[in-house]
Amino acid sequence: MVVTFSKRVTTASVTADTFTVANGAPVDGTVTVAGNRRSATFTPAGPLDHETEYTVSLTDGVVDGAGNPLVAFESVFTTEEPDLTPPQVVTVSPPNGDDDVTVDTDVVVTFSEPIDAGTVGPASFTLSNGAAVAGSVNVAGNGLSATFSPDADLAFDTGHTVSLTSAVTDLAGNSLPAFASSFTTASPAPDPGVPVVTAIRVDDGPSHDGTGNDSRGNNDGVRPVRRDHRAVCDGNERRRGDAHGRGCRPSSSNPTPS
């Protein structure tokens, strides 16, 4: 509680006897005077009771520099109702049920009210895929969100569960109802396979017909791979696939008749 004065008062005259707060009985606390001596603050030793009337009093024992006493002063206030509403998870990312999540994702949850950062950590905010996923937890400065950052990329094509326990509380100490959400990471990209030769380029020099084709009529000198298989027929060699032996010619390796 802070009171301000119309003129400077003496610091020594503002004490726990001349500046009090009470709810039938005096409240324990400390009194301090500002450096300009135009205000004074009463700081209770502990939280005040909820829904309770308190009276702030300053006596004529407070004086200014000339010794003039303060006109006795009183003010009454009533404290608020207790906060009995537990915090809730409002959103989670990745969303519950998402089945195409990138493996480098962080998990972010937002809350309905500020939470006590000291209650959120690796034990109360977890990610698992059958086993616990190693990572770190950070709470936003306003207490309205928390982020789980995995230490490494998640496994591909794997189900993961996000969990927050009731150990998480708001600033009034109300526990978060236990929360769980799940998602599945995406499958890895298809393997592009190994390279293969699909054509051979034979450089036959410039074309002679102005078409841009090579001298054998193939565009850009690209020729399909051709295989010339030969076989022996009647002591001669012929092209395989020639059922009538056309194209047979003497073979230098023919055996000599006995």
Q: Which residue is it, tokens 């939280």?
A: 47
- The matching CATH number, chosen from 3.30.70.141, 2.60.40.1220, 2.40.50.140, 3.40.920.10, for 2-78 is 2.60.40.1220
Query: What pLDDT was estimated at residue 223?
Result: 53
Query: What pLDDT was estimated at residue 197?
Result: 79
- The matching CATH number, chosen from 3.40.1350.10, 2.60.40.1220, 1.10.630.10, 1.10.357.10, for 89-184 is 2.60.40.1220
Give residue-wise pLDDT tens across range 13-59.
Answer: 999 999 999 999 999 999 999 999 999 999 999 999 999 999 999 99
- Kindly give, in sequence order, each residue whose CB lies less than 8 Å from that of residue 179, ignoring residues fewer than 6 positions away: 89, 92, 109, 162, 163, 164
Q: Identify the sign of the CA torsion 146, 147, 148, 154.
A: positive
% of residues, the chain, pLDDT over 90: 73
Q: Are 234 and 255 in contact (CB under 8 A)?
A: no
d(CA 166, CA 88): 11
Which part of the chain has CATH 2.60.40.1220?
2-78, 89-184
Amino acid found at 30: T
